[in-house]
Amino acid sequence: MAEERIDAPANMDSGDSSSSGDGLSSQDRDAAEAVALAHVDEDRSPYGGPMSRRELSFEVLETHRYGDDIRVRIGYRPSRGFSGRSGQEWILIDSDGAVRTRELISRPKDSQPWVLIALAGISLIAALVLVPMIIARSNPTGDPLYRAGRTLWMRVSPPDVVSELQYGGRTTSGDAANFRIAGPGNGWNLAVVHVSLHNETSQQVSINIDEAAAVLIGVDGTEFSPINVVARSEGMSGPIDSRYRYPDFVGLWRSIIMRGSEEVAGMLIFEVPPDFEADRFNWKASDTIHVGFRD
């Protein structure tokens, strides 16, 4: 499972019996966990494909304070016919009890002991199968936007340029809440890049996703750093405008630890000028991976 490195708040009051070690009261903890569980149970679209349509079981694995917000780690797995490792995701709940961001950490992974038996008993067949697979990993499925670094695999999408981004969440009372990330104005826009990171080979990789994690480079060579999607998300009093609706928004912005075979997927946002045209994307956090959009 992927773990997040978070320092304890400096104003923690160890004498408050109603709070945990990180200053989180049992009432706030229960409320945040209820919101997180309700949110993932209602919206399963980030799981994708057949998994989003299966009957799933959810459980709270960890809850702690993250600045003024509360972070809840949820485990999810098929309710029937599954004996493997649960998938996990982080849900960030703001001080008003609304879901601010959602980050998929890993997907359920079924146990397959028959693979080990087959490899041990039929070494020749295993070699014939594995050698082509290893060669194919240099560019699986031939996708030019799926690249490998020293320790990570990464797939990015061409930027989706929008003037504003709006998405939905849920409050502690179960009511829907809407959020927006506004553009910088003066004709500038937001470029949304979908990023999937997969730790294929390393036992553990520490990744700090912040302003220095990546750069988006235009055709004129200008570099743009990602913005803080947590700080820039604002609560909305009215409904979501269909022109700016961004379903399944998952912002990437925090320090994580990815263990072997784990995956993190979400979105980075960049502020770009009105005539922006993307040339390439460079990932720099814990690895160096380059993807060209015009190759």
- Mean pLDDT over 250-277 rounds to 91
Structure confidence at residue 54 (pLDDT) = 83
Structure confidence at residue 31 (pLDDT) = 93
Q: Write down all domains in the chain, each with its CATH number in brackets.
A: 26-106 (3.10.450.630), 146-292 (2.60.40.1240)
d(CA 151, CA 133): 18
Higher pLDDT, 174 or 165: 165
Higher pLDDT, 84 or 175: 84
Structure confidence at residue 230 (pLDDT) = 87
Place of tokens 């019996």: 17
Write out the two tokens for 142: 């031939």
DSSP 113-154: HHHHHHHHH-HHHHHHHHHHHHHHTTSGGG-TTEEE-SSEEE
- Mean pLDDT over 19-30 rounds to 78
pLDDT in tens, 61-89: 999 988 888 999 999 988 887 878 888 99
100 within 8 A of 69, measured Cβ to Cβ: yes
Q: What is the rounded end-to-end Cα distance, in angstroms, of the chain? A: 35
d(CA 34, CA 175): 12
Write out the two tokens for 132: 């082509």
d(CA 28, CA 35): 11
- Mean pLDDT over 6-13 rounds to 38
d(CA 231, CA 173): 23
pLDDT in tens, 118-146: 444 444 333 333 333 333 333 444 555 56
Is residue 126 classed as helix, strand or coil in its secondary structure? helix
CA atoms lying within 13 Å on the CB side of residue 239: 3
Query: Any idea what the Cα angle at residue 107 is, between residues 101 and 113, rounded to 5°?
Result: 165
- Mean pLDDT over 210-238 rounds to 93
Q: Looking at the predicted structure, is the pLDDT value of residue 112 above 70?
A: no
Of 286, 287, 270, nearest in space to 278 by CA:
270
**0.75 surpassed by pTM:** no
Q: Looking at the predicted structure, is the pLDDT value of residue 277 above 50?
A: yes
Place of tokens 């601010």: 100
Q: Looking at the predicted structure, is the pLDDT value of residue 93 above 70?
A: yes
- What percent of the chain is modeled with pLDDT above 70? 77
d(CA 47, CA 52): 5
Compute the Cα dihedral for 248, 207, 136, 134 and give only its sign: negative
pLDDT in tens, 34-43: 999 999 998 8
* 148 burial type by CB count under 10 A (0-12 exposed, 13-18 middle, 19+ buried): middle
Structure confidence at residue 58 (pLDDT) = 94
279 within 8 A of 294, measured Cβ to Cβ: yes
Structure confidence at residue 135 (pLDDT) = 30
Structure confidence at residue 192 (pLDDT) = 96
Structure confidence at residue 123 (pLDDT) = 41
Please give the mean pLDDT across all residues of the chain: 79
What is the helix (H) or strand (E) element at residue 117, kind and residue range?
Answer: helix 113-121
Q: Which residues contact 98 (CB under 8 A, 6 or more apart)?
A: 35, 169, 170, 171, 172, 177, 179, 235
User: Radius of gyration over alpha carbons of the chain, in Å?
Assistant: 21
For the ranges 18-22, 47-51, 109-113, 151-155, the lowest mean pLDDT is seen at: 18-22
Higher pLDDT, 22 or 160: 160
